[in-house]
Amino acid sequence: EVQLLESGGALVQPGGSLRLSCAASGFTFSSYAMSWVRQVPGRGLEWVSVMSGSGDTSHYPESVKGRFTISRDNSKNTLYLQMNSLRAEDTAIYYCAKVKHDHIWGSLDYWGQGTLVSVSS
């Protein structure tokens, strides 16, 4: 059974940093691209980043480019999101999601429960 468990969400001040983790199990982690998606509570979904299975390719939207870094440790079956220079508008629930295929251009077939990041002074 595929499981994705996010952790690391917290209340942080504007300008601060945070690292989210996503522990994966139930599938061959290194064979699949992984993604982060966020959602302001009660609002819609925003794609945040994606990384290939090997970790050699990653992409971001302009809203987080240069501030967020996705990474993975395939030996630990864990995905990370390093978030720097956090802003109030980064406040959201952050979901880890598995891409259905081995390349980044795929739908997201499994999602975690999410971890809440709040940016406020």
Partner 1 sequence: DVVMTQSPDSLAVSLGERATINCKSSQSVLYSSNNKNYLAWYQQKPGQPLKLLIYWASTRESGVPDRFSGSGSGTDFTLTISSLQAEDVAVYYCHQYYTLPFTFGPGTKVDIK
The residues that touch partner 1, with contacts defined as CB under 8 A, are 4, 35, 37, 44-47, 50, 59-62, 95, 97, 100, 105-113
Q: Kindly state the smallest distance separating residue 96's Cβ from partner 1, in Å.
A: 10
Q: Kindly state the smallest distance separating residue 106's Cβ from partner 1, in Å.
A: 6
Q: CB nearer to partner 1: give 19 or 103.
A: 103
Q: Kindly state the smallest distance separating residue 45's Cβ from partner 1, in Å.
A: 4
Give the position of tokens 């109030």: 88
Residues 77, 82, 34: CA angle, nearest 5 degrees? 40
Q: CB nearer to partner 1: give 35 or 78.
A: 35
Q: CB nearer to partner 1: give 5 or 16.
A: 5
Order of strands, edge to edge, in the sheet holding 68-73?
A: 3-7, 18-25, 78-83, 68-73
Give the position of tokens 């982690």: 29
* Residue 39 CA to its chain's centroid (Å): 11
Q: Which residues are CB-neighbours of 31 under 8 A, at least 6 positions away? A: 53, 102
In angstroms, the CA 36 to CA 11 distance is 19
Q: Kindly state the smallest distance separating residue 104's Cβ from partner 1, in Å.
A: 8
Q: CB nearer to partner 1: give 32 or 110.
A: 110
